[in-house]
Amino acid sequence: MRGARGVWIGALALLAGALAGCPDTGGLMAGPRVLRTDPQQVVLSWETAADETSWLEVRRPESEAAERFDPESTAGRHRCRVADLAPATTYAYAVLVDGETRFEGRFRTAPRRGAPARFAFAVLGDSGKASRDQARLGARLASLEPELVLHTGDVLYSNDAKAVFLEPYAALLAQSPLWPTLGNHDLEYEPVFRELFDLPTDGPPGLPPSRNYVIDHGDARFAILDSNQGPRTLRWRIGRWLERKMNEPPLPRWRFVVLHHPPYTWGNHEPTLPVQTLVPLFESLGVQMVFSGHDHNYQRTAPMVGGRVAGPGEPGVVYVVSGAGGGDLDAIPPKAEWPDELRGGDGERFSATFVEVAPEGLTVRQVDADGIVIDRFDVPPNAAQTSAPRGREAAGGAP
Ligand SMILES: [Fe+2]
């Protein structure tokens, strides 16, 4: 965690103008947002008028009584860490202002790191256009209650964070943390992007902090990578860091990578060749799924190895483009023209990916804003998931 209070206050100060005039969210000026969930703690933020006193109340499942937690507050901007919680547990919470309840919601703590877990996460991308469809899809995802959300990038198509991010996802952000990937459009608004999120800073040495980071959730590990880089940086600096992070104990059963530019795509853009330099490492590390955006559509490959469809029983990586989150849609070829690698896709509906994680495998659904399932597939466990990830042979040697 970046964690420094000054950084947080700076973030809120930058957003203050954007948040002014934010529609009433239960009597708050902004939020609440669940910024992160850990096995034993949760961090939330919200905003009130500067002269109001606000605090959080959390009700433990076994208790009728609510416990009060006082935030760090500056000029109506509040950030509260709730500690000593139980893992994988749903808590009711309320935001009070001057003793009056202004918002009631729920959050769920993360499972213990490395422990087998059943949970769901959502993936969406290329959303930041403040469109009606973006908001509808955000509301749909909120109704599905994922424990965390991964954004494949292009969160911001403008610096109006209120319009393109905070408002469309208000219900979602009040219950689940959203972990962003840096898209090419986010680079244009990177100061706003950085101030919107409070991200880990232990990325590859020598590269800007928080552009590459890892999140653990139970026995799943998510590596969020900055694909706005050339092949040498991706392959050697980010790749070596990725290898190290994926090998850190407790070794995860499920290994996911999220980056903006797709290594394989049959949509509006060409496959991103610099990202393809990471493909051998994804395979040797036992990564099961790689999520991208950039193309504004949905695409899903067969399990792949070495640029081809994996053989029966051969571990492979499933590549998903989930970039139909709200920006103008990009078409994909008619199904009759799909190559063998492409096994699912849609370029006509706004949609997001919903993944249910269980010890016996992953169940993946692509869901549109009406809740209609566009595509469904399973990812079974394979040998790569039950052994230590490799990768040294893929990333070793001098560049
Ligand atoms: Fe993009």
Q: From ligand 1's centre to the CA of 228, what distance in Å?
A: 10
Q: Which residues of 32-60 are buried (b: 16+ CB within 10 A; e: fewer)?
A: bbbbbbbbeebbbbbbbeeebebbbbbbe
Q: From ligand 1's centre to the CA of 208, what distance in Å?
A: 19
Q: From ligand 1's centre to the CA of 134, what distance in Å?
A: 16
Q: From ligand 1's centre to the CA of 53, what distance in Å?
A: 41
Residue 129 confidence class, pLDDT cut points 50, 70, 90: confident
SS3 content of the chain, % helix, strand, coil (to 5): 20, 30, 45
Q: From ligand 1's centre to the CA of 187, what distance in Å?
A: 10
Higher pLDDT, 324 or 270: 324
Q: From ligand 1's centre to the CA of 182, what distance in Å?
A: 9
- Taking the C-alpha atoms of residue 125 and residue 260, their distance in angstroms, rounded to an integer, is 8
Q: What is the pLDDT of residues 252-284, one digit of tens each?
A: 999 999 999 999 999 888 888 899 999 999 999
Q: What's residue 267's pLDDT? A: 86
Q: How does strand 308-309 pair with strand 361-368?
A: unpaired
Residue 9, pLDDT above cutoff 60: no
Q: What's residue 26's pLDDT? A: 60
Taking residues 357-385, what's their average pLDDT? 89
Lowest mean pLDDT among 12-16, 190-194, 327-331: 12-16
Residue 25, pLDDT above cutoff 80: no
Residue 130, pLDDT above cutoff 70: yes
Q: What's residue 382's pLDDT? A: 63
Of the candidates 352, 327, 370, 286, the one whose C-alpha atom is nearest the C-alpha of residue 150 is 352
Taking residues 347-375, what's their average pLDDT? 97
Higher pLDDT, 221 or 26: 221
Q: From ligand 1's centre to the CA of 270, what distance in Å?
A: 12
Q: From ligand 1's centre to the CA of 294, what distance in Å?
A: 4
Domains in the chain, ordered, with CATH? Answer: 5-108 (2.60.40.10), 119-395 (3.60.21.10)
Residue 397, pLDDT above cutoff 90: no
Q: What is the pLDDT of residues 38-75, one digit of tens each?
A: 999 999 999 999 999 999 999 988 788 899 999 999 99
Residue 392, pLDDT above cutoff 50: no
Q: What's residue 385's pLDDT? A: 45
Q: What's residue 383's pLDDT? A: 45
pTM: 0.89
